Amino acid sequence: MAIDKKQVSSWFEQLQNEICTKLERLDGQAAFGTDRWRREAGGGGITRVIESGALIEKGGVNFSEVHGKVPENMLKTLEIEQDSDQDSTFFATGVSIVLHPINPMMPIIHMNVRYLEVHGKEMNLANWFGGGIDLSPHYIFKEDAQMFHQKLKDACDKHDSSYYAAFKKWADDYFFVKHRKETRGVGGIFFDRLSETTDSSIESIFDFVKEVGNSFYPTYEQLANKRRNEDYTDNELGWQALRRGRYTEFNLIYDRGTKFGLETGGRVESILMSLPPHSKWTYNHAPPAGSPEENTLRQLRKDVDWISPD
């Protein structure tokens, strides 16, 4: 069944505005810059970036609404067969957020919520929602991971009791840095291609996506206010730079959104907004045995029950 795509897009743009307003208030120092851009082939977006704040060293909250002829490599990526006598068209809209904090005791947080339609000559070939939220701490605090996952489970359970377990596993598998044999962080939830079924209407799936989007700020606010004033040293800043390097590796090597955007002629500045302002790679680095850094590395693995930790 069809859904009003402009209604979806309008809600995403509203979400961007609300989150930016609240983050500026939480930061207390910096403001978001606004960069409105147009896509030559159709559509455009609003990239909003905050830098050098009291809380956030660099962050971005991006909104986009793009449309037009589907590039051939996009069809291959989406595994959709094009009508033999007609070029397919697409419509995509969403919000993407990445925040890199100043204090290394605070985590990197990422959220994305999105909607896609692909149309042939006389039919809707596909439409679905995707998204998720995940947390990448520089230092893992089990109580923070527990709170984060409980918030996500609460959001999922309002709509389908099976969502959290399924989407947590999806996140564990997706945010896995294969060449390092470690997860990017403590995971979260990840979902894609949620479309209408006999049990769920497309409107009910949109309601779930709204729930995820609306859970972002209160969850981040709680994490930020707990850790933003903790003391740290140059050692912790060095470790933060190394962990940011791992974050960068994942985004440039594995992240589907980054690869998809670059391969389909997306706006480079907006796509690479997620990268940290400073990062570091130290040859063959190994943290001291028993250190907080080693403890964090040991916990970067799949299938951890963060809600009921040992």
What amino acid positions are annotated as catalytic residues? 110
C-alpha 217/C-alpha 20 separation (Å) is 9
225/55 Cα distance (integer angstroms): 10
Q: How far is CA 195 from each of CA 130, 163, 210, 247, rounded to the nearest angstrom?
A: 9, 14, 15, 30
Note whether 116 and 96 are within 8 A (CB): no
Q: Exposed, middle or buried by CB within 10 Å (0-12, 13-18, 19+), for 97? A: buried
Question: For tokens 């903790």, what's the residue?
Answer: 230
Name 239's Cβ contacts closer than 8 Å, sequence gap at least 6: 104, 138, 139, 287, 293
Give Cα 7 distance to the centre of its chain.
22
